[in-house]
Amino acid sequence: MIPAIDLLAGRAVFLTGGERGTEEVVADDPVVLAREWQRRGARRLHVVDLDAAIGSGENRDVVRRILRAVTVPVQAGGGLRDEPAIRDVLAAGASWAIVGTRAVREPEWLRAMAVRFPSRLILALDRDERGVLVEGWNRGTSADPAGLVELANRVPLAGVLFTNVAVEGRLGGVGDVRDNLVERCSRTRIAAGGATTLADLQSLRAAGFDHVVVGKALLAGSIPFERAQEAMA
């Protein structure tokens, strides 16, 4: 189980379905939140710069401060669309860089970056009824998710992050978790979106996921932190 810290205008927030205007501020100082998750026993953190993802600004200094403040591994993403951006976040201390928009639109770029940064990149495969989403979930694409998973299997990626955007942040459960793309993925498989109860975590585990990113449900208390850790051990 990986606690999520989503950054917007310097604060940690949760969005419903990734939509601007639905944000709930959960911490004015995301560094304090990161330290708290580490203190409680988190073995990994998920940090995303939402402003950079949607092109409304950036929170790179906040990301760097989080990376300096914790010792647990961090997967960091949001707006990482060129080699210098990837190099910067890894040099700042991220264990893995999450790439989505450009990786989805330009698979050959993903291939090149995976070779350049072996086992340090995670492909974000964010989906809803619009298809594979890019630009902070604001635009659908005609990208072939099966082809992207096949590419992920062939190049030295660290993992694939499968986000169900339709249920993200709604505290309504994960829905149907059966997904043949997950079954076909030979990289580390990370789920995100909708996890609300321990039963959701168990369902995702049974579906083949190695990790689950959890955000609002942890602070809402519908998923007890310590029992979530046990469920995904």
Show the 3-state SS of 213-233. EECHHHHHCCCCHHHHHHHCC
Catalytic residue among 49, 51, 126, 200: 126
List beta partners, residue 133: 140
Catalytic residue among 6, 49, 128, 200: 6
- With 0-12 CB in 10 A as exposed, 13-18 as middle and 19+ as buried, what is 15? buried
Helix, strand, coil percent content, the chain, rounded in steps of 5: 40, 25, 35
Show the 3-state SS of 152-197. HHHCCCCEEEEEEHHHCCCCCCCCCCCCHHHHHCCCEEEEECCCCC
For the chain, what is the total number of helices (H) and then of strands (E)?
Answer: 11, 12
Q: Report DSSP state, residue 137.
A: T
Identify whether 49 is a catalytic site residue: no
CA-closest candidate to residue 210, choices 75, 25, 11? 75
Confirm if 52 and 60 have CB atoms less than 8 A apart. Answer: yes
CA-closest candidate to residue 23, choices 37, 35, 9? 9
Identify whether 29 is a catalytic site residue: no
Q: Which residues are catalytic?
A: 6, 126
